[in-house]
Structure 1
């Protein structure tokens, strides 16, 4: 008789990962639960939120009668996620720490711990996503240590695993998984990929998982919590006072504590002004933030977006893009934003003066002059 496949499931202490572990048990797998502590934080009552979540994850394992492990990646999170977050903000960019955490912590540190230390045949998480592999195909994958460098793909030929949207389009989390490596995706099962959030809650209610069902869903950046973002970030970055300047007449409308605190398209709360103004541009040298009134102002629109080096889930650019230097795609720059049709283009685009960075692409509308609004 064949031994049951061993799946190590990441448990956050929430309802989604708890139901993911339950469904894996129902499929007959040998399941182990692992709680990751990535950040030391106290809530408004002085209680460590991670400790409470860990207790909830442990209780899930007791209910499901599966082994429980706890690992700490606080140091790795600080070095690979939080430090990157601060560095990007200082440069005036707005990183998404959830994407970086999935790339470096959950689907690298945790993945290797599960495979190398716990002998996992596969890992699983409570993300609402799917891949192009069935469970049995996931178990057939082997972790191959590949040579680094330009020609590493010449040593093996494997069909790329696709990252697919979840059945619940509102809960779909592929946006946050967009930089996960092929190696990790090959060995990952997403048990909730074909389910809706309502159905997941129903499963939890019917299987004695009420303690996680009653918890509020975690939203926003985990390490900020309920604190005001500006106050939090200024604990780590030096204030750089500057002015809010109207894009229409260069009039100074107010002051701010740092140009890096604002995202293009963001609503800017300017003292003494009732009407909303939105961020159009930032001048890091002078520290000025240029703003425009109302959401339909022409300055808030662009018809071209240029990236730095792109992460391709399949590890290589699509053949169409390589061959034709352009291809149609569906695009979103924010979680839960509707997908829109756009054109990817390699190399220099007409009207673009700078040479693009190696591995960069440009994104524009299929029609050309039609404009895309900045996120706010």
Structure 2
């Protein structure tokens, strides 16, 4: 049964009736500082507000590490760590039973995508993999894409099909960090620069 049908009750308490607590840390994505403790990574979804004791400012869940139990948080609802423009699905279920002819022929196809009900459609490019899964490259990054949700594809008003999101590309924040490292010279490189004579 879908979790949305549990009715008016505390979601955390409901889940903890069925799952053993697995305590872990809330960790800042920016400086890796431990911001607090939680009762289980499975209680949080990407994009939701993390209620951190003693902090008046809102922090939001941006990622989870199941192996350590860490839930990574950022200090803004629109932090770049919440935005991604690349994801991979499992084998897509096509409504017409076969992938669109253009996608089969070209191995790539422009269309639109959404992963939440009533979300605005986002232009994207699908790349078909041999196993029937697709890579989805968004024209602009979308907020809070989460593994386990379904990517649904449209061409005009026609729903083409859907696939479960399995993997995501790096966040805008991670890409910015990599770019900043590339642009700033390493200490060893600075040390090698000889002063002009």
Instruction: Write the mapping of 1:257-336 to structure 2, written as runs, cut at 5 A.
Output: 257-336=39-118
Q: Does 1:221 align with 2:4?
A: yes
* Contact kept in structure 2, 1:245 and 1:291, CA below 8 Å: yes
Q: Which has the higher contact order (CA 8 A, sep 6+)?
A: 2
- State the match for 2:132 in structure 1: 359
- State the match for 2:144 in structure 1: 374
Instruction: Write the mapping of 1:341-352 to structure 2, written as runs, cut at 5 A.
Output: 341-347=123-129
* Contact kept in structure 1, 2:47 and 2:62, CA below 8 Å: yes
- State the match for 2:188 in structure 1: none
3-state DSSP class of the match of 1:240?
coil
Higher share of residues assigned helix: 1
* Contact kept in structure 1, 2:83 and 2:145, CA below 8 Å: no
Tell me the number of residue pairs that the alignment of Structure 1 and Structure 2 aligns: 146
- Post-superposition CA distance 1:10-29 (Å, at most 9, x none): xxxxxxxxxxxxxxxxxxxx
Unaligned runs of 5+ in 2: 147-197
- State the match for 2:14 in structure 1: 232
* Contact kept in structure 2, 1:246 and 1:291, CA below 8 Å: yes
- Post-superposition CA distance 1:197-252 (Å, at most 9, x none): xxxxxxxxxxxxxxxxxxxxxxx711x11111111111111111100000011111
* Contact kept in structure 2, 1:230 and 1:261, CA below 8 Å: yes
- Post-superposition CA distance 1:43-87 (Å, at most 9, x none): xxxxxxxxxxxxxxxxxxxxxxxxxxxxxxxxxxxxxxx4xxxxx
3-state DSSP class of the match of 1:282?
strand
Runs of 4+ in 1 over 6 A off after TM superposition: none
> Partners of 1:338 and 1:371 in 2: how far apart?
13
Post-superposition shift, 1:359?
A: 2.0
Q: CA RMSD in A?
A: 1.8
* Contact kept in structure 2, 1:266 and 1:375, CA below 8 Å: no
Q: Does 1:252 align with 2:22?
A: no
3-state DSSP class of the match of 1:371?
strand
Post-superposition shift, 1:371?
A: 2.3
> Partners of 2:93 and 2:58 in 1: how far apart?
35
Higher share of residues assigned strand: 2
Unaligned runs of 5+ in 1: 1-81, 83-96, 98-219, 348-355
Structure number with larger C-alpha Rg? 1
Are residues 272 and 375 of structure 1, via their aligned partners in 2, closer, same or farther at CA, if it must alter by over 3 Å? Answer: farther
- State the match for 2:23 in structure 1: 241
Q: TM-score, normalised by structure 2?
A: 0.69
Post-superposition shift, 1:375?
A: 5.2
